[in-house]
Amino acid sequence: MIDNRSAEVLMEEEIEKHTKRGKKTILYVGIAYDYGRRNMGLSYEHYHFYHTLLRMDYSLVYFAYDKIKQRFGNEKMSKILRETVYTYQPEILFYLHFHDWISHDLIREIPEELPTKTVIWLTDDQVDYELERPVWEPFNLAVTTDRKGYERRKEEGFNNVFLSQWACNHHLFKKLGLPKIYDVCFVGRCYGERKVFIEKLRQKGINIVAFGLGWENSDRLAQLDLVEIFNQSKIVLDISASSRDSSVLQIKGRIFEATGCGSLLLTKDERQIADYFIPSEELVTYQDADDAAEKIKYYLANEDERERIARTGYERVLKEHTWEKRLSDIFEYALRV
């Protein structure tokens, strides 16, 4: 059945609004469902961006564009977004990029007619720089977690770029005081390099449990289950290769989530890690599967040292790597440029 309601009616009836008198308004445009699919549960972005913005000192308008696109199509979705922007006139439109569904012309139009600053968060800049150029160029500010992408834009004369990083929603990912029942855990979908890496560790005698789509006796974890597993693990393993190009290393949100739960994080040695943590003091890095196995055995046998590193990593996250701090820094910068 065709929904003939006008864009302004849909804007009033379908958009989630949390207004606070006298506070700046953030229009958050992001996906509600994991990979935009309702049957896969709520997305990382919903739990981290949306739930953090709810707790911050802003008025919040939430435009879950995957839900709206699925119900009304791309063209009408962009019309509803236009009505939302012009009705609520937010100081910042903060867009989490997933798929190229929103009109580029609309993004160009907004800052020309309103004092709204448009900000895009790029999720896979390491592999999508050129492909997504038409998407990010119209925005007032592009936020990337990739230093190379940041520096490349500067070299090209695109100065409206901000280098940030994934973080932890410390209201959800926190210490629960649970007993440590797992030696090592890995959480993430099972594919390619991840499966090979886990098998190598098991061949070396590492008792590692893997959770997520594709692993034995496992499915996608609910959010509480994920937090509990991180809390219950002596060591949390992070495999940093991009899911789309195994030769590209990425700092993952898991790094901040696991340390935010008070567990020791073991991650691939990557140049940018030292920008956020002190290796061997706040987390531990490895070179390859052999090195990872040796370090796992060492830290399982040395509980005091393991817990000391886990504790200092946890303290660093709460001090510097929460989503509240990340988003505050981004919005303050966006309003200045």
What per-residue string of b and e applies to 117-149 under the rule 16 or more CB within 10 Å gives b? bbbbbbbbbbbbbeebeebbebbbbbbbbbbeb
Q: What is the DSSP string of 42-76?
A: B-HHIIIIIHHHHHSSSEEEEEEHHHHHHHHHHHH
> How far apart are alpha carbons 2 and 252 in whole angstroms?
41
State whether 290 and 234 are in the same domain: yes
Q: Which residues pair with 141 in a beta bridge?
A: 119
What is residue 248's predicted lDDT score, i.e. its pLDDT?
58
State whether 194 and 256 are in the same domain: yes
What is residue 242's predicted lDDT score, i.e. its pLDDT?
52
Give residue 262's domain range: 182-320
> Token match 């699925």: residue?
70
Q: Is residue 292 domain-resident?
A: yes
Q: Is residue 174 domain-resident?
A: no
What is residue 247's predicted lDDT score, i.e. its pLDDT?
57
Instruction: Please say whether the beta carbons of 7 and 82 come within 8 A.
Output: yes
Domain of 283, CATH number, reads 3.40.50.2000
Q: Nearest 5 degrees, angle CA 260-CA 265-CA 269?
A: 125
State whether 204 and 315 are in the same domain: yes
Q: pLDDT tens for the chain, 337 residues: list them.
A: 567 889 999 999 989 999 999 999 999 999 999 988 888 889 999 999 999 999 999 999 999 999 999 999 999 999 999 999 999 999 999 999 998 999 999 999 999 999 999 999 999 898 889 999 999 999 999 999 999 999 999 999 999 999 999 999 999 999 999 999 999 999 988 887 899 999 999 999 999 999 988 888 677 888 999 999 999 999 999 997 555 555 556 888 999 999 999 999 999 998 889 999 999 999 999 999 999 999 999 999 999 999 999 999 999 999 999 999 999 999 999 999 8
Instruction: Please say whether the beta carbons of 67 and 36 come within 8 A.
Output: no
* pTM to 2 decimal places: 0.92
Q: Is residue 124 domain-resident?
A: yes
Which of 270, 247, 293 is closest to 283 using CA atoms?
270
Domain count, the chain: 2
